[in-house]
Structure 1
């Protein structure tokens, strides 16, 4: 009897230790796997229209039934399995913070790095885990070896935090920023590439490319721009905040040197999680944002010297990666594009309504932007919420004015039907 009690006690301790590893909730994955039988003989495009399958995915989220959240471009909710992991790791950390955080959870970063590298399609020695795209891209922008007179090509439609980082270098060090002003939407890749290449000069050292413009959802032909830049010896930095776990691609496909993204957007990872990619041969020469004892090392981990961080948030990324794999990259991309087209195709021909986003697959996916003649974006957005409880994002930026709509995999078609009804009402108002 004593031996049996001892065995049960040890087994319980072991189970507690194993609970900190990134394993998908045992109750969540079977439902998705069972639902997959419904679509196993369908192409990703066909599966995108199977509401029975996507109903199962929707049940994995805990979104409020009192509002329709169509602003997933800012930050996405997490499936319950990810939320549970954050809470579990947080409770564990509070049992003995310095022990469980630094000796247990910190050791889990390497297995998480492998998961992210697999999803990104690159070496684990090229992936650093951080808190968001601003931190990842800021590391590159402020860490590149540039001197007075060196030039950088970027667009006025890039994300403000990135623009501000570049402008700080311009103010402090005298580098020159050459801006492209994109008239969106654009449905010709060569036109986009030409705008970038025309901005290149013999002094251009870096080009920054936003893979998907967050204001309108415009997809840029990163690989073609990067190829043109590399031919002139120009380094390539990609802002992938809105395409990682949204579009089906691998980072090396883009032929970039540096890449940053937020994982709390389309991956549905915990809020405040991000990732930096640095091509292996570029690591040594890139200075870390937070200094360490060997800032010129060729180890990707030098970009993770953040001090005390939220280990529960970081470790729960693993569950989000597993959830992504359970759906499948291509299947998810097709569903997100289908959701955008579902509402956008119904309103594009309405009087006074204008779509500011292309509906062609090469140029957009989940994100889209629309405007209504005679109404300001803020007025549209406030009416959508006050009258229909639809949460969107009003956009006024450079030459863009409209309302951004961004559904996610948990969005049911009935919610988009309500959006169409709302736009119909506003267009007739």
Structure 2
């Protein structure tokens, strides 16, 4: 055993065994293992074993709080209290077609808020905001703290890679993606909140997904996750609230990287799918309320073009060129309707996995994604369908991926005689 700075003799196998056998990790063990993994004294293999033990055995509320605090302490904590505008951020627990950050941030900017958005890359079957925005020519999320502060003051937002914020989480996040441990409530809650607490916003709104495309299988688990994250935020002095929102079917009509940016531009231009608009406006209202902003109606910023103006300013500040064409996969395949009728439900998880198979996501940490890979959904649940009509178009630069992507879609949709029951997009609000 190796002595360490946390006042105890600890080693990775003993920490792993404690959790493997259903025990509770001590504060010293959590502090040690997070620090040791951050500084390469615990291997990826050892952390992968601990993550699987946590996945299978869970964590107590105190363990989650300490794990979160240890990840916050692994890097610096920003303070943007001097930028001259109320700071507020939003985080989604991850969904399919969930491009909401892209139109939402400029809406809140147009309402007078400043949004420091430490965004992530794709994880499992869900897309990452940074992967989507990096499909815009020239856009970079690798910006300095000085530039972040300057953009918050002058432009009203910065969307950036977490960088030195919770570096322990960055390593663990990448490992979760490739070890089948993404769907763990303690690991999701601590990952989200460590970055958001370190990020320096004064208020946070959480979009906690419920349904087949969410990381957690049941509404009860998603509700528990939202409650856990709201409590973690409060413990660290961060005004936090959550919406539970539906993720049984994909959001909007596009899933992927560049295709979701294109749909977001439609929303900012005053159009776009109704569900994307509804969720954008609902979250913007929560963010404005949490930040004490009430002078501007978020919906008005989409109608009058002010949100689009703020988006253009944000993208330009980070080197992006919205005049350059967005990439689209060089090869496409179309799925057509076998009969006429009404589109049934579309399984969000299956669509997310199909788009991942097309190359829009990663199968190893650091792997490059295809910006042009993705899917267009031509008919959403409840819409009329004619026999032979296009239902889905799949895009990729590597056509050998089509077979596995199409197999993910098998049985994930239907055309019937009746519309499926409608569900509310916003299920509940947790404060």
- Higher normalized contact order (CA 8 Å, seq sep 6+, divided by chain length): 1
TM-score, normalising length: structure 2:
0.30
Which structure has the bigger radius of gyration?
1
